[in-house]
Chain A
Amino acid sequence: QKEVEQDPGPLSVPEGAIVSLNCTYSNSAFQYFMWYRQYSRKGPELLMYTYSSGNKEDGRFTAQVDKSSKYISLFIRDSQPSDSATYLCATNSGGFKTIFGAGTRLFVKA
C-alpha cells in the first residue's frame, strides 16, 4: 500500500465548476499536508498547506484535512482554464522527508 494515494484522473470540468481533489494517506504520524500545482513542463509549486486537521482557505482554494479518516482534500471554486494543471498532495511529519501523491490531472474547459 502506498503511503499516499491519489486518483490520477484526468478530471475534466467546465469553467466555473467547483473542483474537488482528494488524497488518502496511511501514516497517522503525518502532521503537515500540502498541495502542489504543476503546470506542463514546469516544476511543482507549493499552493498551500495545513497543519493537522481542519480547513484553510486562500482565495478560490480551500484545503481540508480529516485526520480521523486520513483524508486530504483541495477544493477550487469558480474554476478557470488557468487552473488546468496536475495537482499533487503531499505530507510530512515536520521534517524534510515528504511523501507525495502521484498527482491528479485537471482540465478546466472554457
Chain B
Amino acid sequence: SAVISQKPSRDICQRGTSLTIQCQVDSQVTMMFWYRQQPGQSLTLIATANQGSEATYESGFVIDKFPISRPNLTFSTLTVSNMSPEDSSIYLCSVDTGDNLFYGYTFGSGTRLTVV
C-alpha cells in the first residue's frame, strides 16, 4: 500500500492565523481524503480531493475555511484558515489502500494542531 508523508507533524498557532498541511504520497492516486480527528470523537471526513477538479466538501465543512489544493496525483494540501481554538484537532491525510475488493484507507501520521 501507499506510504504517506504528512507535515508538519504538529504545530501551535495563534487564533486568526492559517496553517497549511502538506500530504505527499509515494505513488499516484486518484483520490485523496482529508479527515479530522477531535479528542474522543470519531474520524470525520472533511473533503475529497481529486486532481484537476475542485475538492468535494462534506456537510459542515466549507472551502473558505478549509481550502484544499491538489496540483498533481501525489500531492495535496489542506489549509485551516482563520483558526479558532475549536479547530484544535488532529488532521489526517489518507488514500485508498488499493484493495480491489473494498474501500479501506491508508493514513498519514497526522498533524496535531493546537490553536491558542
Contacts and interface: CB of A to CB of B under 8 A. Distances in A.
A41 B112 contact: yes
Interface residues on A, range: 20 to 34
Interface residues of B, number: 26
Interface in A1-49: 2, 4, 6, 8, 32, 34, 36, 41-46, 49
Given A8-B40, A96-B96, A102-B41, A46 B103 contact: no
Interface stretch (A53-61, A73-81, A87-95): A87-95
Interface stretch (B42-50, B62-70, B72-80, B81-89): B42-50
| Most A C-beta atoms less than 10 A away, residue of B9, B48, B96, B107 | B107
A51 interface: yes
B104 A46 contact: yes
A92 B4 CA distance: 23
Nearest to A6: B42
A101 B97 contact: no
B16 to A, nearest CB: 27
B51 to A, nearest CB: 16
Interface of B: 4, 6, 9, 31, 33, 40-43, 45, 48, 92, 94, 96-97, 101-110, 112
Q: Which 5 A-B pairs have the closest CB atoms?
A: A43-B107, A100-B43, A100-B42, A102-B42, A32-B102
